[in-house]
């Protein structure tokens, strides 16, 4: 994978994280999008991908290690996004208070940066789509793209 590809992925993931904060705190067309526990886990996935790609861009000697970490993070993010879609498709699986929310909100990183990592929403809450697609689907598509991008570059360069 080229050095500039890592920078592109870093910028793309940073944009996604910035947009998530925007729709959470500023709102989109008058609607606020509180993050659910699965949204927070996906944010962590995007953050790990962004940071590992930034490190791969900066440090050539360890680039391969950061590439594998980004690939793993994209796979885990994809799995969480698929789980999120399953929960949305099966709202009866939710019983109100999500035990995952309680667990996530106890992480020290959540205590340090609550505006970014605190889970306030429910995974099954239907929110209006953004550009005709729901936010969880946008996340799923993004993780799919990232995973395919990393796999494609794995075959070509490794």
Confidence of residue 158 (pLDDT cuts 50, 70, 90): very low
Stated pTM of the model: 0.90
Query: What are the distances in angstroms from CA 11 to CA 3, 8, 32, 45, 61?
Result: 13, 5, 24, 14, 22
pLDDT at position 156 is 46
Where is pLDDT greater, at 90 or 55? 55
Correct CATH for 3-157 of 1.20.1550.10, 2.60.40.3080, 3.10.129.10, 1.20.1250.20: 1.20.1550.10
Where in the chain are the domains?
Answer: 3-157
Q: Is the pLDDT of residue 122 over 90?
A: no
Euclidean distance between CA atoms 13 and 5, whole angstroms? 12
Higher pLDDT among residues 9 and 117, named by residue: 9
């Amino acid at each position: 994978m080229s050095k500039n590809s890592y920078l592109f992925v870093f910028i793309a993931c940073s944009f996604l994280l910035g947009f998530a904060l925007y729709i959470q705190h500023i709102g989109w067309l008058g609607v606020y999008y509180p993050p659910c526990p699965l949204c927070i886990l996906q944010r962590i996935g995007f953050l790990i991908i962004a940071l590992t790609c930034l490190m791969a861009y900066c440090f050539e000697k360890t680039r391969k290690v950061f590439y594998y970490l980004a690939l793993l993070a994209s796979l885990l993010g994809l799995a969480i996004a698929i789980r999120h879609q399953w929960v949305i498709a099966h709202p009866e699986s939710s019983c109100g208070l999500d035990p995952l929310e309680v667990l996530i909100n106890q992480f020290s990183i959540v205590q340090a940066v609550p505006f970014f990592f605190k889970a306030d929403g429910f995974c099954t809450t239907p929110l209006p789509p953004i550009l005709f697609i729901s936010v969880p689907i946008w996340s799923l598509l993004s993780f799919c793209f990232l995973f395919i991008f990393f796999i494609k570059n794995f075959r070509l360069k490794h």
